[in-house]
Each structure stands twice: as structure tokens, then as C-alpha cells.
A and B are shown apart, each in its own frame.
Chain A
Amino acid sequence: MISPGGAILNPGGAIPADAVIGRDREIEEYWLVLRRQSIALLAPRRVGKTSICRRMLAYPPDSVTPIMRNLEGLQSASEFVARLADDVDHLVGRLTRVKSKVSELMARFGLGLDVQGVRVQLVPTQWKILLDELLHEVNEATPEDGQVVFFWDEFTLFFGDLARRGAAEEAMVLLDRLRAARQAFPRIRMVVTGSIGFEEVMEQLRQRGYANDPINDVDKQIVPLLDEVGAVKLAEALLSLLPGTPPPALAQFIAQRSEGHPLVIQHMADRLRRLGRLDKAEVEGALQQLIADDSDPLELSHYLERLATYLPAETLALTRTLLDTVALEPQGVALADLAARLGTNREQVLTAVGRLRKDQYFVREGTDHRWRFRLDVLRRWWMQERGL
């Protein structure tokens, strides 16, 4: 009865695996990487990390057993291990078809308790030993030519929350144990995702005396926006759901104007559906509306607001002026030109643009290394908001 068609057009919503479009190239690449090492998928929210994971989970290569868990809202390392035990219990049963040691382990560590037919999860006190034992069990149960891939969504958020709640030490131990497990168990891989930078979490842990680099064995991938092929494919799929026949090359136009941002494509298609008209002018109008709408549907205002929260006062003014200056130049500005326009020294500008690049505001391009906004839609919004 259920066909994924209608679920494709769904800005900001949960998209089932069959409705994930335009990510085949990335998924293929990630599976290749997973043959040799674990991966960290990092990107701001709504770029499609979770959708990619869902698709990978639904269509794994032969001999790979994937299992997914969202870590958002877990309160402690022991709760993480309790959830892992639950997942492993199902997984190992699936892998070996014989009664595994996991149930025994769970009983030993006091994890399962039946109350009126309901299994109550208890939090293990000796979570470190249990974690090692569980992962050992998974490794043992996996065929020699096989792999078990744990997809842990919102991994960085979970560790960030632990550090913020004063459980930084717990976070450090857990990170180290997971790293050790990746080294010790060759049949286990991990795909961890995060919408906030892992670097920020590490910074919090370092401030509390942590000196290790717990994911230096993991391939860190910044999930890109859709490439042209993927964006056109998604736009075509969305247009096919709308009433009426779109003019030729409308999908290409949407892909180009959205710069391959899946959320922008989704919102554009959603607006076209609401307007009931399909042409380039409406696409342009929809984009303009997305930028001008007071309710900020693309939620771009945080790009402006967050500056004041993490930049020191002495660099805040310079950074804003820098952003204003670059916003006025769609083609970008070279570093020397920027320094001259701002009347400040090159080193200061270099530090500021470097920070803005890391925070996904700017990209550098061209042979003359011009700096421009990563997204033109953000540049246009910035100009409007700052009255430029």
C-alpha cells in the first residue's frame, strides 16, 4: 500500500530510505571507505546525513550487517552501553542463529528485568567492561569475510552533551574505548555523524585535560551538497510529483539556483506545489520568497546570530565588516583586496576568513584565491538582512 513517492517532497521531514535521491555517488564512496576504516560524516543540519545513513542501512553490500541508533538525548555512557547491548542482542541473534552469550552478559550485568511482561532497561554500573565484552561478542559472531557497521547518528551531539553535563571524563573514556575497539576488532566498523563539529567537542574535552585524538583512525568526511547530477535528479523527482508538465530544463534550473542544497530544492518544490505553477519565474520567485520571508524558512539567521556568541568582541566587528564586504561581491574578493578595502593588516584578515571558512560561511576558489560565500542564497540573505 505504501509507495515512497509522496514522501520525497518533504522539506525538513524524515525521508524513508527509498525516497532518498541523488546520493548514490557518496554512498558508493562511503562503502568503499568502510572496507578499510570507519567514517565520521560531518555537516550542518539538513544536508542529508541521516538520510544517507538510512539509505545505506536499507541497501548494504553483501556480507555487511548494518545497525543504526540515534544517540541524541542519551544521558550517560552507561545508557549508551545499555542501548548498545539491546542492539547487539538482536544483531548477534541474527548473525549466529544460536543463543549467544549476549543475553547471558546482559543478565550478568543486571540489564534486563521483566516487570509485568515489560522489559525494563537498567543502566549498567560496569559499563566499560560490558562495552568491551559486547563488541568482542559482535566481532566473534561476524563471519570472517563479513563486517558489522554501527551507524551512530548525532554522535558528536551526544559527546558534546556529556561534556556540557559535567561528564567529560566519562566521554573521554568512552571515546578511547571505542577507538581501542576499532583497533582490536577488525570486523567492526563505525559510521558516526554529527551536525556540530567534532572539533568543538574535542576543544571542550581538551579544556578538561584530554590529550588524545580519539578519531584519528576515522576517515572524516564532510557531507557535500548535492552535485549537479544528484540535484537535477532530485528536482526531477520532485517536479514529477507536482500537477502539470514542467517546461524543459526546469529541473536543471532549480538545481542551479539551489546550488545543490537539498533543503532549498525541497522548499522550492514545496512552494511551487502551493502556487500550482511551474516555470522559471516561479522558481526564482520561490527562492526570493525563501530569502525574504520574515519567518526565515531556511533558518539562515543563525549565521548572523551565532557570530556574537562565539567570537570575541574585538574580532566581531571586523568579521561582520568582512562578511558585508564579501557579500557585495558575488564573484568573491581576493585576500589582498579584502585587506586593502578593510584597511587592516593581512594577518588579521587571514585569520578571520580562515575561521569563516571552517564555519561554512566562505569558500576559496579560482586561481587568484577569491573568497566568496559558500552559498549564494546565504549571501543574498545577508545583503538583505544587513541592508547592503
Chain B
Amino acid sequence: MMLTSPSRYSPWLVDRGLLRTLLVGRDELLQHLADSLRDVAVGGGGRYELLVGPRGAGKSHLLALVHQALTTDPLAGRAFVVAALQEEESIASLEALLGRILNAMPTEAGLPDPQTLFQRLQQLPLSAVAEKAVALIKARLQGRSLIIFLENLDILFVALGRTGQQSLRRLLQTEVNWSIMAGSRTASAAFLKESEPFFHTLNRRTLEPLTADQCREMLRRLAEHSGKADLESFLASPQGLARVRALRTFTGGNPRAMALVFPYLTRESLDDLVESFYAFADELTPYFQEQLARLPPGQATLLEALAENWRPMTVKALAQVTFTPETSASTQLRRMQKDHLVQSIRVGRHTLYEVAEPLYRIARAMKRSDQAMPTLARFLRIWYACEDLLPLLEHLNLRETVLRALALPGDQKVHGGVAPSTAVAMFRAKRYADIREYFRRLDHADQAGNCGHCASSSPGWVTCSQKRSRRLRQRTLPTSQRLSALSQVRVERKRRGWLRRSWHRVRSCSSAGYCAAYLQMTRNSESFRRRSGR
């Protein structure tokens, strides 16, 4: 019995047609994985594929679809057999893994029932299980290939330990027609370290966050499935895209998080929206609490500190606010990065960290009275265009929040040192025309800085310094001064080359990290200019 409505946590239970409809931006990967696994299996070889991504990135969704593509292939059962292990099955040893694989093999006419064989296997002495399980699996295969689907390979590998992993790899090297299609929350050291058995064995494919357009397409399909025609047409409008971009900033493009926010998309009246916002935060809380509960105390503290700070932080800053030794904070952050709990952005010699799932910030902030209002203000600032915020000032109960929202990011940039209450003051003085002008300048400042997720090209300061170099050559300066200046330009050019490369890397970050990294890079560049006397 398959579910006919989307499930946020159990894609394997959802009707495959619906899953296929809701798959966005990964059709090509799905096709590639299904085709290549099938071809290799038909050819009698073994292929090892691994999908890596944080919770909710869509691993199980994709695995379920690859599984469906393979099991419905005309050659399934004739050239290869598919065995999918359930996510909920806890496996602690190689013997258990092999037993579960046997148990998951399809029932076929003329062959003993796999469940009965599995039960017989459970009666054997442990030392005989692995060998017997392999023999039974091979007997069922009758020369056909085997494709095994596994969830949470990183957790399985921890349970198997090095010896178990070595035995598994030995098995795969011996049984050359066994393939693996797995998912993993982390790119664990078991796959990455040269000394580990599975180094260089699995084809790792990281599931990237959805882009704004992909998020919109996913929400549109959800709306279509739910029969919300008006929402569908709203999403197609420019305002719809702006709204989706706002949501993407909060969700980091995580498909599960987008599915979580979907029910709140249609809340149009402000009161309704604010109420929904609190309800949404409430709904997120158990999800993040469960994640937090699994972490060791040292990591939980760091994650909380990052969630409370809406900008990426350096290790030093984090260590200070959490009263943790810097070396320990650094180690924990590296571990958390491998577990996809935090992400890092390198800016020059500095590495900045931020939470990998931006929704965590909301869930965390809304539970604290001192942070709820600024968080809501942030949300409003992103949710509405500046002009749209103006009429909201009429809502007396929300006026302070709206004013905070109005006074947010570009405020200080425009007025340099003026307190971020400019809009408040102007509103109180009923200088409505000035407020409009103020908004215009704010927007202009944002665009000029290319700050935000709308930037499409690298900013001006990244461009080459060739012109300056030419000008220096043409100027009539004493030779020594000119050479010294030219040498500085060369150094700067080298640095700019590095900055350009960093810029491209930063562009692939989430929008929140991207903004922060961009600003940091700007500051670095400015400080470089100051140091080099220009």
C-alpha cells in the first residue's frame, strides 16, 4: 500500500508516480544512475554508487526512484536481482548485513522463500553465518548480478568497524557482480581517507541544494498535486519567485525544508503570516531537538551558538562565545562539517562556519523571547519588498517589528554611523516621501554591493588591475618608486587572481554564507588596499 500524498520523512512509502513528479533538478542524475547500474549489472560487473547529502537533501527520494527504475526494467529478474534494505533496519555486523540482504531478495517461483532462509540462517552459529549467507545469496542469484540498496552507509560503516569494512570490500572484490547503491548523510572518513578500506571505491555524488528556480518548480508541483491552482499561478509570477527566493534563504534550498514550508506559502494576511511563522517554528522544533540530542555536549553548544548568530563565525569568535578552547572548537567544527551539520566558507586565511540548515536559526530563535522579534523582523524584511512593508506600519501591534525590519541590513551602509532607526525617526516625523527615498537608496546600495542571492556576476573590485599597472608605467616617477609600485600591483594582481577563484567558490555557497563571505572578501580587499597604500 503506497501513500498518495507526499511524505516528508518516508519517501519509500510514497507512490512512485508522485515521487517522480516531485523530483526536481535531479532527473538527469536519476536516469544516469539507473542506466549505469543496470548496464554494469547486465555486463556481470559491480558498480558502487553513493549519494551524499544532509538530512532532507533528497537521498531516500532518489534511491526510491532508482530502485523503481531498476525493478521495473525488463531485464530485472532475468539479468539482475535488486535487494533494498529498509532505512529502519539496524545492522551491527557483516553477518547481519548479509542476512538482511538475503531477506530483502525478491520471492521467486521455484526458489525457496528468502524469509524462510533468513530464519534458518538465524539458527546457525555466528562463525558460520557469513559464509552460509553468501552461499545462499549466490544460490538464489543463479549467475545473475545483484544490486543492493542501502541507506545510511556512514552509520553502517561505523557499526561494521574497520575489520567489517575490510571483509565487505573483500566480498565485493570476490563477488564481482554485486553492486551497491547507497545513501549517506556524511562524506565519512571511511570513504575519504587513504588508509580506509573503501577509499577510492565508491562514486560519491553530493546532492546540491536546490536553486531558487528549482525550489519554485518543486513548490509549483506540490501546488498542482494539492489542487491549489491559485498558488500555482502565484508561483509563476515575479512576486512568487521573490517569495520563493526569500524562502530559499531560510531553508538553504533543502528539499525537505521546502516541503515543510509549503503549507505556509498561501498565508497572505500579515496576522495570519505571523501566526503561521510561529506555528512553523513550533513544527520545526522537534526535528532539530532530535538532531541536537544526538550530539555530544561540545558540539551542541557550538551549533547553538552558530544558530543564534545569523552570520558565519570564525573559530576564534565561536570559541569565545561558547567558552571553549579554540583547538577543541576547531576539531568539533571539522567533525560537524563532515556530518553536514555546519558548513564552512574560506575567506583568505580565515575559515568561517555557519549552520548547514538555516531553518535551525528560526526554530532556535523563536523559542527565545529576546530573539523572536528580531527574527520575525528579518523574516519580514526578506518576505516583503521595502515598499510593501510601508503599509504594514499601520498595524500597531506589529509596528515595532516592521520598523526593525525596515531598518535592517543596508541601513548603516547608506548612512555610515547613523543609528539603524532612521526609518523609525522618519516615520514618526511623517516624512513619508523621505522614507520612500530612503528605501530607494537602500535597494540601490544592496544592488551596488551585489549583496544577496540575486548577484549574477563578480563585483567590480575583482576585475583585473592591469589598467592601474599601465597607468603606473606611464607616470613619471623615479625608477625605484615606480618599480616598487609595480611590484605591489603584481602582488595585488596575484591576490586578485586568488580572490576571483574564491569568488567563484563563494557563489556556490548558500545565500546567507554567500553574503557574509562576500562582505568579508570586500573587507579583505579593502584592508589590502589600505596596506598597500592605495
Contact = CB atoms under 8 A, between A and B. Distances in A.
B425 interface: no
B348 to A, nearest CB: 10
A120 B501 contact: no
A71 B169 CA distance: 10
A11 B172 CA distance: 15
B42 A13 contact: no
Contacts of A73: 163, 165-167, 169-170, 197
Interface in B121-161: 123-125, 127-128, 131-132, 143, 145
Contacts of B169: 72-73
A12 B131 contact: no
B140 to A, nearest CB: 16
Given A4-B43, A10-B47, A115 B173 contact: no
A292 to B, nearest CB: 9
Contact of B203 (A12, A15, A120, A306): A12
B114 interface: no
A333 B172 CA distance: 43
Contacts of B375: none
The residue in A2, A3, A306 that gathers the most chain B C-beta atoms within 10 A of its C-beta is A2
A1 interface: yes
A346 interface: no
A7 B204 contact: no
Interface string B493-521: 00000100110000010000000000000
B526 interface: no
A119 to B, nearest CB: 8
Contacts of B44: 2, 4, 7, 16, 18-19
Given A12-B200, A116-B124, A294 B206 contact: yes
B452 to A, nearest CB: 22
B202 interface: yes
B123 A116 contact: yes
Nearest to B46: A14
Q: Which of B38, B48, B194, B197 has the most CB of A within 10 A?
A: B194
Contacts of A384: 501
B48 A12 contact: yes
Given A10-B40, A19-B43, A295 B200 contact: no
Contacts of B174: 70
Contacts of B177: 14, 16
A274 interface: yes
Contacts of B187: 295
B203 A297 contact: yes
Nearest to B121: A118
Given A2-B79, A4-B45, A387-B498, A302 B167 contact: no
Contact of A121 (B36, B131, B145, B205): B131
A3 B194 contact: no
A372 to B, nearest CB: 22
B193 interface: yes
B179 interface: yes
A3 B43 contact: yes
A3 B42 CA distance: 7
Interface string B163-192: 101110110111011110000000100001
Measured as residues with beta carbon below 8 angstroms from the partner, the interface class of chain A is 35 or more
Contacts of B176: 14-16, 54
Nearest to A266: B203
Contact of B124 (A11, A115, A270, A301): A115
A114 to B, nearest CB: 10
A119 B29 CA distance: 44
Nearest to A293: B206
A116 B131 CA distance: 14
Contact of B36 (A15, A153, A270): A270
Contact of A1 (B45, B46, B79, B132): B79
A50 interface: yes
Given A6-B43, A13-B40, A270-B36, A72 B197 contact: yes
A205 interface: no
A364 interface: no
Contacts of B204: 295, 297
A373 B40 CA distance: 33
Interface string A155-186: 00000010000000000000000000000000
Contacts of A14: 45-47, 172-173, 176-178
Contacts of B79: 1-2
Of A6, A71, A241, most B-chain CB atoms within 10 Å: A6
B167 A2 contact: no
B73 interface: no
Contacts of A2: 42-44, 79, 143, 145
Nearest to B94: A73
Contacts of B287: none
Contacts of A287: none
Contacts of B43: 2-8, 10, 16, 19
B199 interface: yes
B28 interface: yes
A125 interface: no
A14 B45 CA distance: 6
Contacts of B123: 116
Interface string A242-284: 0000000000000000000001000000100110000000000
Given A4-B44, A14-B46, A14-B176, A46 B200 contact: yes
A294 B81 CA distance: 33
B201 interface: yes
A115 B125 contact: yes
B52 interface: yes
Interface string A21-58: 00000000000000000000000011000100010000
A6 B28 contact: no
A9 interface: yes
B32 A273 contact: yes
A120 B123 CA distance: 14
A105 B43 CA distance: 40
Interface in A96-135: 115-116, 118-121
Contacts of B41: 6
A9 B39 contact: yes
A16 B44 CA distance: 6
B431 interface: no
B78 interface: yes
Contacts of B127: 120-121
A75 interface: yes
Nearest to A153: B173
A7 B39 contact: yes
Nearest to B135: A118
Nearest to A11: B203
Q: Which of A7, A45, A294, A306 has the most CB of B within 10 A?
A: A7
Contacts of A54: 176
Given A16-B176, A116-B123, A295-B205, A1 B166 contact: no
Contacts of A199: none
A349 to B, nearest CB: 24
9 contacts: A2-B145, A6-B39, A6-B43, A12-B201, A12-B203, A19-B44, A154-B170, A302-B199, A387-B501
Closest CB pairs A-B (n = 8): A7-B43, A7-B45, A73-B166, A6-B39, A6-B43, A14-B46, A13-B47, A14-B176
Given A3-B43, A14-B46, 12 more contacts: A6-B39, A7-B39, A12-B201, A12-B203, A13-B179, A14-B47, A16-B177, A273-B36, A274-B29, A295-B206, A299-B200, A387-B502
